[in-house]
Amino acid sequence: MRAGGCAVPGAMEGIRVLEFSEMIAAPLAGMLLGDLGADVIKVEPPGGESWRLMAQFAPGESRSFIALNRNKRGIALDLKTPEGQAVVHRLVPTVDVVIVNYRPDTAATLKIDYETLSPLNDRLIYADNTAVGRRGPSSHRPGYDLIVQAMSGLMVTGGRVENGIPIPLNPPVIDLATGITIAWAICAALFARERDGAGQQVETTLLATSLLRQGTGFLRGDFGPARVRPKVDGAARLVTPYYCTYRSSDGMVSIAALTPIMRRRFEEAVGVEHQLHGRRDVARDSPEAAVMSRQFLADVATTMAQRTTREWLAVFDRATVPAGPCQSVDQLADDPQVLANELVADLEHPVAGAISMVGPVVRMSGTPATARHASPTIGQHNDEILAQVGYSETEIDALRSSGVLYPSEAVDRGR
């Protein structure tokens, strides 16, 4: 999808979303809904949300913000004022969904909590995302991906250790997975509303998403305790020779031979046999077996280094061994596989100009997901949004002059 825009309505055409969010999880959720055709209005504080201000390349603009906020209209309000709160309360009856991604006490302070907004719209789907949930001894604490990786066990599960201290996984996997979870839960709640006509509150947490990602580790039963990963220093986890990455003569190739049949095919493809084959006298978890596995790994690595990545991929394709090139993300924008699946969107940003980014991640034959426009600048759609809920030009000017609406002067930035 090299060009944005589509004449065919998306699956969520006609759904309006009011998004109060910062950072990653909730902004990603709003963007995913926008890709599906929803009208997403992002409400930011004066000066913009914090992710805008992280490593700015221009005033109020950052790569991090642009990557997570396309297909949205922007309004910048001071929600600490009664006038700013009144704007929200006039907007809520016109929307289907509210997304909130603040620490537990913030929404009530700003009067955008479920108890305040739901009486204004009994069909409202209110999605509330917190770090660790609204109940329990830690519910009062703010939290980010790093904190939840630590407290949920994911950082230890990841197996990356340096000087005895676990290293966080990167990119922020919990935030990103939670954004998808929020969007999924909102779609489910909207589907339920079609049946009974009622809105509801939806709660998601970074903690729950992290535990879900560790399903087998969290699992308990009569089949014994979870397997404990060996502690490895040097920011690396112990690898199996059948599930790892090898250097080729011009790059790297990753192998995922998970079943016994695939492992035999892999050995035949590279022409190296594991010494454990046929050895019933050696326990698979013994030190002797570990020595044999390390030798197999070394022998395979020597063989893999003798041919190019392209040559090895052809070999593994013929042998039906799961394999792929190990690449850096900056190589993917022009990757034939990425382009063939239309995963690149080219858009025009009001400040950054022409940009290229990851496009919609789903394909729908009847109601296509589309990248229609880039992320908004701060308060880009203030006048447009307020006019839609009945504010006159005089009222909008008054909000602007009082500092409730930001910027303090009307700016025509286009769309």
Burial class (CB in 10 A: 0-12, 13-18, 19+), 144: middle
> Phi/psi at 328 (nearest 5 deg)?
-95, 155
Question: How far apart (Å, rounded) are the C-alpha atoms in residues 399 and 141?
Answer: 34
Q: Measured in whole angstroms, how far is the alpha carbon of residue 228 from the centre of its chain?
A: 28
Burial class (CB in 10 A: 0-12, 13-18, 19+), 51: buried
Catalytic: 250?
A: no
Closest CA to 157 of 86, 226, 75: 226
Active-site position among 175, 281, 346, 412: 175
Angle at 17 (CA atoms; ends 190, 205), nearest 5 degrees: 70
What would the two tokens of residue 90 be? 């006039």
What would the two tokens of residue 226 be? 């979870």
What would the two tokens of residue 17 be? 């979303």
Burial class (CB in 10 A: 0-12, 13-18, 19+), 282: middle
DSSP at 119 = G
Question: How far apart (Å, rounded) are the C-alpha atoms in residues 139 and 371?
Answer: 36
3-state secondary structure of 202: strand
Closest CA to 175 of 76, 28, 70: 28
Q: How do beta strands 200-205 and 125-130 pair?
A: parallel
| Residues labelled catalytic | 175
